[in-house]
Amino acid sequence: MIKELNIFLKKENILMAGLGFSAGLPIMLVFSTLSVWLVKAGIERSTVTLFSWAGFAYSFKFLWSPIVDKFQIPFLNKIGHRKSWLFITQILILLSIILASYSNPQGNLKFMALSIVLIAFFSATQDIVIDAFRIESAPEKKQGPLSSMYLAGYRVAMIVSGAGSLWLASYLGSETYQQDVWKQVYQIISLFMSVGLICTLLSKEPNIKNKNKTNWLNQVKFTFSTILSIIIFFIIFFNFPKINNLNYIFIFILNIIKILLSFTFSIFALYILEKIKFLPKKQSREIFIKPITNFFVRYKKIAIIILLLIGLYRIADVVMGVMANIFYLEKGYLISDIATFSKFFGLIATIFGGFFGGIFAMKFGTYKSLLIGAITASLTNVFFAFLAIAENNLVYLATIIIADNLASGFAGAAFVVYLSSLTSIRFTATQYALFSSLMLFIPKLIAGYSGAIVDVLNYPIFFIFTAILGLPVIFIIIYLNKVK
Protein backbone atom coordinates (compact mmCIF):
# COMPACT_ATOMS: atom_id res chain seq x y z
CA MET A 1 0.00 0.00 0.00
CA ILE A 2 2.88 2.38 0.86
CA LYS A 3 4.36 1.74 -2.59
CA GLU A 4 1.09 2.70 -4.29
CA LEU A 5 0.78 5.87 -2.22
CA ASN A 6 4.38 6.87 -3.07
CA ILE A 7 3.37 7.00 -6.73
CA PHE A 8 1.28 10.08 -5.95
CA LEU A 9 4.40 11.90 -4.74
CA LYS A 10 6.11 11.77 -8.14
CA LYS A 11 6.81 15.17 -9.66
CA GLU A 12 4.46 14.75 -12.63
CA ASN A 13 1.57 13.74 -10.35
CA ILE A 14 2.12 16.66 -7.96
CA LEU A 15 2.23 19.06 -10.91
CA MET A 16 -0.98 17.51 -12.24
CA ALA A 17 -2.61 18.28 -8.88
CA GLY A 18 -1.57 21.90 -9.41
CA LEU A 19 -3.15 21.93 -12.87
CA GLY A 20 -6.29 20.37 -11.36
CA PHE A 21 -6.30 23.20 -8.80
CA SER A 22 -6.12 25.70 -11.66
CA ALA A 23 -9.08 23.97 -13.35
CA GLY A 24 -11.24 23.85 -10.21
CA LEU A 25 -10.63 27.40 -8.98
CA PRO A 26 -12.83 29.37 -11.45
CA ILE A 27 -15.91 27.13 -11.34
CA MET A 28 -17.16 28.22 -7.90
CA LEU A 29 -16.60 31.87 -8.86
CA VAL A 30 -18.95 31.32 -11.80
CA PHE A 31 -21.64 29.52 -9.81
CA SER A 32 -21.72 29.19 -6.00
CA THR A 33 -19.81 32.27 -4.79
CA LEU A 34 -21.30 34.44 -7.53
CA SER A 35 -24.86 33.56 -6.49
CA VAL A 36 -24.15 34.68 -2.90
CA TRP A 37 -22.67 37.96 -4.19
CA LEU A 38 -25.74 38.62 -6.35
CA VAL A 39 -28.22 37.75 -3.59
CA LYS A 40 -26.38 40.02 -1.13
CA ALA A 41 -26.53 42.79 -3.77
CA GLY A 42 -30.32 42.47 -3.80
CA ILE A 43 -30.62 40.93 -7.28
CA GLU A 44 -33.86 39.01 -7.90
CA ARG A 45 -33.74 35.22 -7.66
CA SER A 46 -34.95 34.79 -11.26
CA THR A 47 -32.07 36.97 -12.49
CA VAL A 48 -29.51 35.16 -10.31
CA THR A 49 -30.46 31.79 -11.81
CA LEU A 50 -29.98 33.18 -15.34
CA PHE A 51 -26.26 33.49 -14.57
CA SER A 52 -26.10 29.69 -14.50
CA TRP A 53 -26.30 29.86 -18.30
CA ALA A 54 -22.61 30.76 -18.23
CA GLY A 55 -22.19 27.03 -17.56
CA PHE A 56 -23.05 26.34 -21.20
CA ALA A 57 -19.36 27.02 -21.89
CA TYR A 58 -18.50 23.80 -20.03
CA SER A 59 -21.24 21.79 -21.76
CA PHE A 60 -20.40 22.85 -25.31
CA LYS A 61 -16.62 23.20 -25.13
CA PHE A 62 -16.32 20.45 -27.76
CA LEU A 63 -17.38 23.05 -30.35
CA TRP A 64 -14.06 24.92 -30.16
CA SER A 65 -11.86 22.03 -29.02
CA PRO A 66 -10.52 21.47 -32.60
CA ILE A 67 -8.83 24.87 -32.44
CA VAL A 68 -7.10 23.97 -29.17
CA ASP A 69 -6.19 20.50 -30.44
CA LYS A 70 -4.61 21.45 -33.75
CA PHE A 71 -3.52 25.08 -33.86
CA GLN A 72 -0.30 26.56 -32.54
CA ILE A 73 0.06 29.85 -30.66
CA PRO A 74 2.88 31.38 -32.78
CA PHE A 75 4.68 33.57 -30.24
CA LEU A 76 4.81 30.79 -27.59
CA ASN A 77 5.89 27.90 -29.83
CA LYS A 78 9.13 27.34 -27.93
CA ILE A 79 7.46 26.24 -24.67
CA GLY A 80 5.31 23.66 -26.49
CA HIS A 81 1.85 23.36 -28.02
CA ARG A 82 -0.08 22.28 -24.90
CA LYS A 83 1.90 24.43 -22.46
CA SER A 84 1.42 27.55 -24.57
CA TRP A 85 -2.37 27.07 -24.60
CA LEU A 86 -2.32 26.41 -20.84
CA PHE A 87 -0.27 29.51 -20.11
CA ILE A 88 -2.47 31.79 -22.23
CA THR A 89 -5.78 30.48 -20.86
CA GLN A 90 -4.58 30.73 -17.25
CA ILE A 91 -3.50 34.35 -17.78
CA LEU A 92 -6.89 35.11 -19.37
CA ILE A 93 -8.77 33.45 -16.48
CA LEU A 94 -6.80 35.53 -13.98
CA LEU A 95 -7.53 38.76 -15.90
CA SER A 96 -11.22 37.82 -16.27
CA ILE A 97 -11.58 37.25 -12.51
CA ILE A 98 -10.00 40.65 -11.86
CA LEU A 99 -12.36 42.18 -14.46
CA ALA A 100 -15.33 40.60 -12.65
CA SER A 101 -14.11 42.10 -9.37
CA TYR A 102 -14.64 45.59 -10.79
CA SER A 103 -18.23 44.85 -11.82
CA ASN A 104 -21.12 46.12 -9.71
CA PRO A 105 -24.33 44.08 -10.02
CA GLN A 106 -26.35 46.97 -8.60
CA GLY A 107 -25.09 49.35 -11.28
CA ASN A 108 -24.23 47.38 -14.41
CA LEU A 109 -25.42 43.79 -14.51
CA LYS A 110 -24.52 43.36 -18.18
CA PHE A 111 -20.85 44.14 -17.49
CA MET A 112 -20.85 41.53 -14.74
CA ALA A 113 -22.52 38.98 -17.03
CA LEU A 114 -19.84 39.58 -19.68
CA SER A 115 -16.97 39.11 -17.21
CA ILE A 116 -18.52 35.90 -15.82
CA VAL A 117 -19.03 34.49 -19.32
CA LEU A 118 -15.36 35.24 -20.05
CA ILE A 119 -14.27 33.36 -16.90
CA ALA A 120 -16.42 30.37 -17.89
CA PHE A 121 -15.22 30.39 -21.52
CA PHE A 122 -11.52 30.57 -20.69
CA SER A 123 -11.96 28.05 -17.86
CA ALA A 124 -13.69 25.58 -20.20
CA THR A 125 -10.88 26.10 -22.72
CA GLN A 126 -8.30 25.41 -20.00
CA ASP A 127 -10.17 22.17 -19.20
CA ILE A 128 -9.77 21.07 -22.83
CA VAL A 129 -6.01 21.65 -22.69
CA ILE A 130 -5.44 20.03 -19.27
CA ASP A 131 -7.39 16.91 -20.27
CA ALA A 132 -5.29 16.57 -23.43
CA PHE A 133 -2.08 17.32 -21.49
CA ARG A 134 -2.87 14.62 -18.90
CA ILE A 135 -3.76 11.95 -21.45
CA GLU A 136 -0.68 12.63 -23.56
CA SER A 137 1.65 12.69 -20.53
CA ALA A 138 1.34 9.02 -19.56
CA PRO A 139 0.12 5.63 -20.88
CA GLU A 140 -3.25 4.23 -19.73
CA LYS A 141 -1.78 2.16 -16.86
CA LYS A 142 -0.38 5.36 -15.28
CA GLN A 143 -3.53 7.43 -15.81
CA GLY A 144 -4.98 6.36 -12.41
CA PRO A 145 -2.58 8.40 -10.23
CA LEU A 146 -2.62 11.33 -12.67
CA SER A 147 -6.44 11.39 -12.70
CA SER A 148 -6.64 11.07 -8.91
CA MET A 149 -4.19 13.93 -8.32
CA TYR A 150 -5.96 16.06 -10.91
CA LEU A 151 -9.31 15.50 -9.17
CA ALA A 152 -7.73 16.09 -5.74
CA GLY A 153 -6.33 19.45 -6.88
CA TYR A 154 -9.69 20.28 -8.48
CA ARG A 155 -11.61 19.60 -5.25
CA VAL A 156 -9.14 21.52 -3.07
CA ALA A 157 -9.56 24.51 -5.39
CA MET A 158 -13.34 24.24 -5.02
CA ILE A 159 -12.89 24.47 -1.24
CA VAL A 160 -10.64 27.53 -1.67
CA SER A 161 -12.91 29.39 -4.13
CA GLY A 162 -16.15 28.12 -2.59
CA ALA A 163 -15.99 27.88 1.20
CA GLY A 164 -12.76 29.93 1.31
CA SER A 165 -14.17 32.90 -0.59
CA LEU A 166 -17.30 32.96 1.59
CA TRP A 167 -15.24 32.77 4.79
CA LEU A 168 -13.11 35.62 3.43
CA ALA A 169 -16.18 37.68 2.54
CA SER A 170 -17.59 37.10 6.02
CA TYR A 171 -14.28 38.17 7.60
CA LEU A 172 -14.13 41.34 5.49
CA GLY A 173 -17.73 42.19 6.39
CA SER A 174 -20.31 40.88 3.89
CA GLU A 175 -23.41 40.73 6.12
CA THR A 176 -24.37 44.20 4.89
CA TYR A 177 -23.64 44.59 1.17
CA GLN A 178 -20.36 46.35 0.36
CA GLN A 179 -19.06 46.32 -3.19
CA ASP A 180 -15.43 46.66 -2.07
CA VAL A 181 -15.67 43.44 -0.03
CA TRP A 182 -16.54 41.33 -3.09
CA LYS A 183 -13.96 43.21 -5.16
CA GLN A 184 -11.27 42.20 -2.65
CA VAL A 185 -12.55 38.59 -2.46
CA TYR A 186 -12.37 38.05 -6.23
CA GLN A 187 -8.98 39.75 -6.53
CA ILE A 188 -7.49 37.69 -3.67
CA ILE A 189 -8.88 34.44 -5.13
CA SER A 190 -7.51 35.40 -8.58
CA LEU A 191 -3.97 35.30 -7.12
CA PHE A 192 -4.36 31.54 -6.58
CA MET A 193 -4.27 31.11 -10.38
CA SER A 194 -0.52 31.53 -9.93
CA VAL A 195 -0.49 27.88 -8.73
CA GLY A 196 -1.54 26.75 -12.22
CA LEU A 197 0.89 29.11 -13.94
CA ILE A 198 3.84 27.81 -11.89
CA CYS A 199 2.87 24.17 -12.50
CA THR A 200 2.50 24.85 -16.23
CA LEU A 201 6.00 26.30 -16.45
CA LEU A 202 7.49 23.43 -14.40
CA SER A 203 5.66 20.69 -16.32
CA LYS A 204 7.18 18.83 -19.23
CA GLU A 205 5.51 19.21 -22.61
CA PRO A 206 4.01 15.86 -23.71
CA ASN A 207 6.18 14.16 -26.32
CA ILE A 208 3.41 14.02 -28.95
CA LYS A 209 4.12 15.51 -32.34
CA ASN A 210 1.29 17.21 -34.17
CA LYS A 211 1.36 15.72 -37.65
CA ASN A 212 -1.35 17.96 -39.02
CA LYS A 213 0.21 21.38 -38.91
CA THR A 214 -1.40 24.08 -41.04
CA ASN A 215 -0.01 27.36 -42.24
CA TRP A 216 -0.91 30.64 -40.55
CA LEU A 217 -3.58 31.66 -43.08
CA ASN A 218 -5.40 28.33 -42.79
CA GLN A 219 -5.25 28.54 -39.00
CA VAL A 220 -7.00 31.92 -39.19
CA LYS A 221 -9.62 30.46 -41.57
CA PHE A 222 -10.28 27.45 -39.33
CA THR A 223 -10.50 29.66 -36.25
CA PHE A 224 -12.98 31.99 -37.97
CA SER A 225 -15.02 29.02 -39.20
CA THR A 226 -15.15 27.41 -35.75
CA ILE A 227 -16.24 30.67 -34.10
CA LEU A 228 -18.91 31.11 -36.79
CA SER A 229 -20.21 27.57 -36.22
CA ILE A 230 -20.38 28.24 -32.44
CA ILE A 231 -22.35 31.45 -33.01
CA ILE A 232 -24.77 29.61 -35.33
CA PHE A 233 -25.15 26.84 -32.71
CA PHE A 234 -26.22 29.28 -30.00
CA ILE A 235 -28.43 31.37 -32.33
CA ILE A 236 -30.43 28.22 -33.18
CA PHE A 237 -30.35 26.98 -29.58
CA PHE A 238 -31.65 30.19 -27.98
CA ASN A 239 -34.16 31.04 -30.72
CA PHE A 240 -35.76 27.61 -31.03
CA PRO A 241 -39.59 28.00 -30.95
CA LYS A 242 -41.08 27.49 -27.50
CA ILE A 243 -44.09 25.21 -27.11
CA ASN A 244 -46.17 25.77 -24.00
CA ASN A 245 -48.32 23.32 -22.06
CA LEU A 246 -46.10 20.29 -22.64
CA ASN A 247 -45.48 17.70 -19.94
CA TYR A 248 -41.96 17.03 -18.73
CA ILE A 249 -41.36 14.03 -20.98
CA PHE A 250 -42.12 16.04 -24.13
CA ILE A 251 -40.05 18.98 -22.86
CA PHE A 252 -37.13 16.56 -22.37
CA ILE A 253 -37.53 15.23 -25.94
CA LEU A 254 -37.86 18.79 -27.27
CA ASN A 255 -34.60 19.81 -25.59
CA ILE A 256 -32.76 16.88 -27.17
CA ILE A 257 -34.17 17.85 -30.60
CA LYS A 258 -33.08 21.46 -29.97
CA ILE A 259 -29.50 20.39 -29.22
CA LEU A 260 -29.31 18.06 -32.23
CA LEU A 261 -30.69 20.67 -34.65
CA SER A 262 -28.32 23.35 -33.32
CA PHE A 263 -25.38 21.00 -33.77
CA THR A 264 -26.58 19.99 -37.28
CA PHE A 265 -26.79 23.63 -38.43
CA SER A 266 -23.31 24.41 -37.05
CA ILE A 267 -21.85 21.41 -38.91
CA PHE A 268 -23.76 22.41 -42.06
CA ALA A 269 -22.15 25.87 -41.88
CA LEU A 270 -18.71 24.24 -41.90
CA TYR A 271 -19.82 22.08 -44.85
CA ILE A 272 -20.83 25.20 -46.82
CA LEU A 273 -17.49 26.89 -46.08
CA GLU A 274 -15.75 23.77 -47.33
CA LYS A 275 -17.88 23.69 -50.51
CA ILE A 276 -17.08 27.31 -51.39
CA LYS A 277 -13.39 26.39 -50.86
CA PHE A 278 -12.91 28.77 -47.95
CA LEU A 279 -11.72 25.74 -45.98
CA PRO A 280 -9.35 23.18 -47.55
CA LYS A 281 -11.34 19.93 -47.77
CA LYS A 282 -8.67 17.49 -46.60
CA GLN A 283 -7.65 19.47 -43.51
CA SER A 284 -11.26 20.33 -42.73
CA ARG A 285 -12.22 16.64 -42.59
CA GLU A 286 -9.11 15.87 -40.53
CA ILE A 287 -9.97 18.51 -37.93
CA PHE A 288 -13.77 18.35 -37.69
CA ILE A 289 -14.88 14.90 -38.96
CA LYS A 290 -11.98 12.50 -38.36
CA PRO A 291 -12.13 12.69 -34.51
CA ILE A 292 -15.69 11.31 -34.68
CA THR A 293 -15.18 8.72 -37.43
CA ASN A 294 -11.92 7.59 -35.81
CA PHE A 295 -13.81 6.60 -32.66
CA PHE A 296 -16.40 4.57 -34.58
CA VAL A 297 -13.72 2.87 -36.72
CA ARG A 298 -11.73 1.83 -33.63
CA TYR A 299 -14.67 0.52 -31.60
CA LYS A 300 -16.97 -0.64 -34.44
CA LYS A 301 -20.10 -2.46 -33.16
CA ILE A 302 -19.69 -1.52 -29.51
CA ALA A 303 -19.14 2.22 -30.20
CA ILE A 304 -22.81 3.05 -29.57
CA ILE A 305 -22.80 0.99 -26.33
CA ILE A 306 -19.70 2.86 -25.15
CA LEU A 307 -21.37 6.21 -25.91
CA LEU A 308 -24.42 5.02 -23.98
CA LEU A 309 -22.20 4.22 -20.99
CA ILE A 310 -20.54 7.64 -21.20
CA GLY A 311 -23.93 9.38 -21.35
CA LEU A 312 -25.42 7.46 -18.41
CA TYR A 313 -22.53 6.67 -16.04
CA ARG A 314 -22.96 9.73 -13.77
CA ILE A 315 -26.77 9.83 -13.98
CA ALA A 316 -27.48 8.50 -10.45
CA ASP A 317 -25.33 10.98 -8.54
CA VAL A 318 -25.92 14.01 -10.82
CA VAL A 319 -29.74 13.76 -10.74
CA MET A 320 -29.70 13.22 -6.96
CA GLY A 321 -27.05 15.87 -6.36
CA VAL A 322 -29.14 18.71 -7.79
CA MET A 323 -31.72 18.21 -5.03
CA ALA A 324 -29.28 17.52 -2.17
CA ASN A 325 -28.95 21.04 -0.70
CA ILE A 326 -32.67 21.75 -1.12
CA PHE A 327 -33.43 18.46 0.66
CA TYR A 328 -31.11 19.29 3.57
CA LEU A 329 -32.77 22.69 4.06
CA GLU A 330 -36.33 21.38 3.75
CA LYS A 331 -35.46 18.59 6.16
CA GLY A 332 -34.55 21.27 8.69
CA TYR A 333 -30.75 21.09 8.82
CA LEU A 334 -28.89 24.34 9.46
CA ILE A 335 -26.86 26.06 6.75
CA SER A 336 -23.77 25.81 8.98
CA ASP A 337 -24.27 22.01 9.18
CA ILE A 338 -24.60 21.77 5.39
CA ALA A 339 -21.49 23.91 4.88
CA THR A 340 -19.45 21.85 7.34
CA PHE A 341 -20.49 18.35 6.29
CA SER A 342 -21.29 18.80 2.60
CA LYS A 343 -19.01 21.57 1.37
CA PHE A 344 -15.96 20.83 3.53
CA PHE A 345 -15.85 17.25 4.82
CA GLY A 346 -17.82 16.04 1.80
CA LEU A 347 -15.23 17.47 -0.61
CA ILE A 348 -12.37 16.00 1.44
CA ALA A 349 -14.13 12.61 1.25
CA THR A 350 -14.37 13.05 -2.53
CA ILE A 351 -10.61 13.60 -2.68
CA PHE A 352 -9.92 10.39 -0.74
CA GLY A 353 -12.43 8.54 -2.91
CA GLY A 354 -10.53 9.78 -5.94
CA PHE A 355 -7.26 8.41 -4.56
CA PHE A 356 -8.84 5.01 -3.93
CA GLY A 357 -10.39 5.02 -7.40
CA GLY A 358 -7.06 5.80 -9.05
CA ILE A 359 -5.18 3.11 -7.12
CA PHE A 360 -7.89 0.53 -7.76
CA ALA A 361 -7.96 1.28 -11.51
CA MET A 362 -4.17 0.92 -11.66
CA LYS A 363 -4.13 -2.42 -9.78
CA PHE A 364 -7.32 -4.16 -10.90
CA GLY A 365 -8.24 -2.55 -14.22
CA THR A 366 -10.66 0.06 -15.48
CA TYR A 367 -13.83 -2.03 -15.85
CA LYS A 368 -13.73 -3.38 -12.28
CA SER A 369 -13.29 0.20 -11.05
CA LEU A 370 -16.18 1.41 -13.19
CA LEU A 371 -18.40 -1.38 -11.87
CA ILE A 372 -17.65 -0.65 -8.21
CA GLY A 373 -18.14 3.08 -8.85
CA ALA A 374 -21.52 2.49 -10.51
CA ILE A 375 -22.75 0.16 -7.75
CA THR A 376 -21.69 2.43 -4.87
CA ALA A 377 -23.05 5.58 -6.58
CA SER A 378 -26.49 3.96 -6.79
CA LEU A 379 -26.32 2.35 -3.35
CA THR A 380 -25.51 5.58 -1.50
CA ASN A 381 -28.63 7.17 -3.02
CA VAL A 382 -30.67 4.57 -1.12
CA PHE A 383 -29.01 5.83 2.08
CA PHE A 384 -30.54 9.25 1.37
CA ALA A 385 -33.97 7.60 1.26
CA PHE A 386 -33.29 6.44 4.82
CA LEU A 387 -32.16 9.98 5.77
CA ALA A 388 -35.44 11.33 4.39
CA ILE A 389 -37.60 9.20 6.73
CA ALA A 390 -35.30 9.30 9.79
CA GLU A 391 -35.35 11.95 12.50
CA ASN A 392 -32.81 14.74 12.04
CA ASN A 393 -29.47 13.44 13.25
CA LEU A 394 -26.09 15.00 12.51
CA VAL A 395 -24.33 11.63 12.79
CA TYR A 396 -26.62 10.19 10.10
CA LEU A 397 -26.14 13.31 7.96
CA ALA A 398 -22.34 13.27 8.23
CA THR A 399 -22.04 9.52 7.68
CA ILE A 400 -24.25 9.46 4.58
CA ILE A 401 -22.69 12.58 3.03
CA ILE A 402 -19.16 11.23 3.53
CA ALA A 403 -20.14 7.80 2.15
CA ASP A 404 -21.79 9.44 -0.88
CA ASN A 405 -18.77 11.63 -1.57
CA LEU A 406 -16.34 8.74 -1.20
CA ALA A 407 -18.38 6.81 -3.78
CA SER A 408 -18.59 9.85 -6.06
CA GLY A 409 -14.83 10.43 -5.86
CA PHE A 410 -14.07 6.77 -6.56
CA ALA A 411 -16.46 6.66 -9.54
CA GLY A 412 -15.17 9.99 -10.87
CA ALA A 413 -11.52 8.88 -10.86
CA ALA A 414 -12.36 5.52 -12.48
CA PHE A 415 -14.42 7.25 -15.15
CA VAL A 416 -11.73 9.78 -15.99
CA VAL A 417 -9.27 6.90 -16.48
CA TYR A 418 -11.81 5.14 -18.70
CA LEU A 419 -12.49 8.21 -20.86
CA SER A 420 -8.73 8.74 -21.20
CA SER A 421 -8.31 5.16 -22.44
CA LEU A 422 -10.94 5.73 -25.14
CA THR A 423 -9.20 8.81 -26.51
CA SER A 424 -6.96 8.60 -29.55
CA ILE A 425 -3.65 10.44 -29.24
CA ARG A 426 -4.28 11.83 -32.76
CA PHE A 427 -7.36 13.75 -31.55
CA THR A 428 -6.80 14.02 -27.80
CA ALA A 429 -8.45 17.36 -26.98
CA THR A 430 -11.32 17.06 -29.44
CA GLN A 431 -12.39 13.53 -28.52
CA TYR A 432 -12.07 14.03 -24.75
CA ALA A 433 -14.06 17.27 -24.96
CA LEU A 434 -16.81 15.38 -26.83
CA PHE A 435 -16.81 12.58 -24.24
CA SER A 436 -16.87 14.91 -21.22
CA SER A 437 -19.67 16.99 -22.78
CA LEU A 438 -21.73 13.86 -23.47
CA MET A 439 -21.01 12.63 -19.93
CA LEU A 440 -23.09 15.41 -18.36
CA PHE A 441 -25.66 16.14 -21.09
CA ILE A 442 -28.37 13.56 -20.28
CA PRO A 443 -27.85 13.64 -16.47
CA LYS A 444 -28.01 17.47 -16.38
CA LEU A 445 -31.06 17.49 -18.65
CA ILE A 446 -32.95 15.07 -16.39
CA ALA A 447 -31.65 16.83 -13.26
CA GLY A 448 -33.40 19.98 -14.41
CA TYR A 449 -36.71 18.24 -13.69
CA SER A 450 -35.67 16.87 -10.28
CA GLY A 451 -37.83 19.35 -8.39
CA ALA A 452 -40.93 18.35 -10.35
CA ILE A 453 -40.14 14.65 -9.84
CA VAL A 454 -39.89 15.19 -6.06
CA ASP A 455 -43.28 16.95 -6.12
CA VAL A 456 -44.80 13.81 -7.64
CA LEU A 457 -42.85 11.07 -5.82
CA ASN A 458 -41.73 12.67 -2.49
CA TYR A 459 -38.11 12.50 -1.26
CA PRO A 460 -37.74 8.83 -0.16
CA ILE A 461 -39.13 7.46 -3.44
CA PHE A 462 -37.18 10.07 -5.44
CA PHE A 463 -33.87 8.88 -3.96
CA ILE A 464 -34.77 5.25 -4.67
CA PHE A 465 -35.74 6.31 -8.22
CA THR A 466 -32.29 7.89 -8.75
CA ALA A 467 -30.67 4.67 -7.50
CA ILE A 468 -32.72 2.68 -10.04
CA LEU A 469 -31.53 5.09 -12.78
CA GLY A 470 -28.03 3.75 -12.17
CA LEU A 471 -28.93 0.07 -12.68
CA PRO A 472 -28.68 0.05 -16.53
CA VAL A 473 -25.14 1.39 -16.19
CA ILE A 474 -24.12 -1.69 -14.18
CA PHE A 475 -25.40 -4.04 -16.89
CA ILE A 476 -23.71 -2.01 -19.66
CA ILE A 477 -20.34 -2.25 -17.86
CA ILE A 478 -20.72 -6.01 -17.39
CA TYR A 479 -21.57 -6.40 -21.10
CA LEU A 480 -18.65 -4.26 -22.30
CA ASN A 481 -16.24 -6.14 -20.02
CA LYS A 482 -17.26 -9.40 -21.73
CA VAL A 483 -16.95 -8.16 -25.33
CA LYS A 484 -13.91 -5.87 -24.96
Listed in sequence order, the DSSP H helices in 103-142 are 109-137
For 201-221, what is each residue's pLDDT tens digit?
A: 999 888 766 555 566 777 777
Helix, strand, coil percentages for the chain (3-state, nearest 5): 85, 0, 15
| 434 pLDDT above the threshold of 60 | yes
CATH of domain 1-209: 1.20.1250.20
CA distance 245 to 449: 15
Q: Report domain extents, the chain.
A: 1-209, 216-279, 296-484
Which amino acid, residue 448? G
Q: Are 302 and 480 in contact (CB under 8 A)?
A: yes
For 40-62, what is each residue's pLDDT tens digit?
A: 787 775 566 556 666 667 777 87
Higher pLDDT, 238 or 195: 195
pTM over 0.85: no
pLDDT bucket at 97, cuts 50 / 70 / 90:
very high
Q: How many CB atoms lie within 10 A of CB 428?
A: 26
Q: In this prediction, what percent of the chain has a pLDDT beyond 70?
A: 88
CA distance 292 to 287: 10
What is the fold of 296-484?
Growth Hormone; Chain: A; (1.20.1250)
For 127-170, what is each residue's pLDDT tens digit?
A: 999 988 988 887 766 777 787 888 889 988 988 887 788 778 87
Q: Do domains 1-209 and 296-484 have the same CATH topology?
A: yes
> What is the predicted pLDDT for the residue at 375?
93
Which amino acid, residue 149? M
**Nearest alpha-carbon partner for 132 in 89, 74, 94:** 89
